[in-house]
Amino acid sequence: MNKKNYISLANKAANLQIKELKKIKKVFNKSFVQAVDLILNCKGKVIFAGIGKSGIIAKKISATFSSVGIPSFFCDPAQALHGDMGQIEKKDILIIVSYSGNTSELANMIKYANRFRIKIIGVASKSDSLLLKASDIKLLLPKVKESDVTGMVPTSSTSLTLLLGDCLATTAMSIRKFSKEKFKIFHPGGNIGGSLLLGKDIMITGNKLPIIDYKKNLGEALKIINEKKLGIVVVVKNNYITGLVTDGDIRREMKFISKKTNLQKLMTKNPLIIGESMPATKALGIMNERKITSLLVASDKDFKKKNKIKLKGIIHIHSLLKYGFK
């Protein structure tokens, strides 16, 4: 086969799925509104369940719910038969995903939910299916053409189901006014969470800060550098930043200075300072560009003054590495 056909076949499959996914709008009806209301007013957890490919999709949707602050987990219907049902409480919501709606393994979970009056949101493509008949809210998926050559492999149907889950999550996010700041709380790690971190989220503060008065000498500065283990000491006058001394500065001048040398002769005046709301990614870029391992941080209010700035914190390269920045 001509290798150019590979791209042609991929385009054909992609175009078919894109066309089929537009059918999602058929699900945006009264039942969808009821489902979102139930999720927003849930006092417990939103529990997802499904078997096979539908189970994999349900896991992904559950993970999305959790990451946007909606307590959620996936419950394997097969494991549920052996004790996991106990995780499901009356105040919870059960969202069961099954494209056919007639998967036999779901029967006992449905019976359990009905017995204890646990609300069920059913997601299936057959209105007369076991699942939708037993559900309090029925989300009927439109029939779609699968994008493989046999028309049998779950492709368009799984994509459609995942899209419905994303729409439920993003609609709830919008109603709750879920912000980047809140996302950062629930997703502190990874590239997404890391990209939302600010200087104030990762800076070193309080007693861990290496600070010394400008009248002190080098010997006293060395003691603080060794104690705080950041490789620097911030020189202040009347609590305002006036300079910076690094262990590198000391090593370079060792032959010409003594422990009694006043810090003002050695310090770097007007050191680089950033505001606390600078994104951590930008702070890392500055550190890489300048080939430095620390940045002084001031409050946003002080930073705007450009003079008489108080030290609020220090971002050290180790802090960035701790949060996964490289």
Counting DSSP H helices and E strands in the chain, the numbers are: 15, 12
Average pLDDT (283-292) is: 88
Q: What is the pLDDT of residue 193?
A: 55
Q: For residue 209, name the pLDDT band (cuts at 50, 70, 90).
A: very high
Find the mean pLDDT for residues 59-69.
89
Is the confidence at residue 157, as pLDDT, over 90?
Answer: yes
Give me the CATH number covering residue 218.
3.10.580.10
Measured in degrees and rounded to the nearest 5, phi and psi for residue 68 equal -110, 20
3-state secondary structure of 147: coil
One domain, residues 109 and 228:
no
Q: Is the pLDDT of residue 239 over 70?
A: yes
Output the domain CATH number for residue 114: 3.40.50.10490
**Distance separating alpha carbons of residues 45 and 320, to the nearest angstrom:** 34
Query: What is the model's pLDDT at position 186?
Result: 55
The DSSP result for 97-135, as a single string, is: E-SSS--GGGHHHHHHHHHTT-EEEEEES-TTSHHHHH-
Q: Does 145 reside within a domain?
A: yes
On whether both 226 and 118 belong to a single domain, the answer is: no
- The reported pLDDT for the residue numbered 265 is 81
Mean pLDDT for the stretch of residues 94-100? 93
Query: What domain range includes position 53?
Result: 4-178
Give yes or no: residues 246 and 117 share one domain: no
The answer to whether residues 156 and 283 belong to one domain is no
Is 146 a residue whose pLDDT tops 70?
Answer: yes
pLDDT band at 303 (very low <50, low <70, confident <90, very high): confident
Question: Which residues, in sequence order, are CB contacts of 20 under 8 Å at separation 6+?
Answer: 144, 145, 147, 156, 159, 160
pLDDT tops 60 at residue 110? yes
* pLDDT at residue 83, rounded to an integer: 60
Q: Answer whether residue 188 is part of any domain.
A: no
Asked whether residue 190 is domain-assigned, the answer is no
Q: How many Å apart are CA 249 and CA 233, to the nearest integer?
A: 11
3-state secondary structure string across 7-76? HHHHHHHHHHHHHHHHHHHHHCCHHHHHHHHHHHCCCCCEEEEECHHHHHHHHHHHHHHHHCCCCEEECC
Are 245 and 168 contained in the same domain? no
In 3D space, the residue among 278, 69, 45 whose CA is nearest the CA of residue 185 turns out to be 69
Domain boundary among 118, 149, 178: 178
Domain match, 170 and 207 both: no
Q: Is residue 193 in a domain?
A: no
Does any domain span residue 186?
no
Instruction: Tell me the average pLDDT across 242-257.
Output: 81
Among 178, 213, 244, identify where a domain stops. Answer: 178
Picking from 11-25, 82-96, 101-115, 136-150, which range would have the lowest pLDDT averaged per residue?
82-96
pLDDT of residue 179: 64
- Count of domains for the chain: 2
**pTM score of the predicted model:** 0.62
Task: Give percent of the chain above pLDDT 70.
Answer: 90
Least confident stretch, 101-105, 184-188, 200-204, 289-293: 184-188
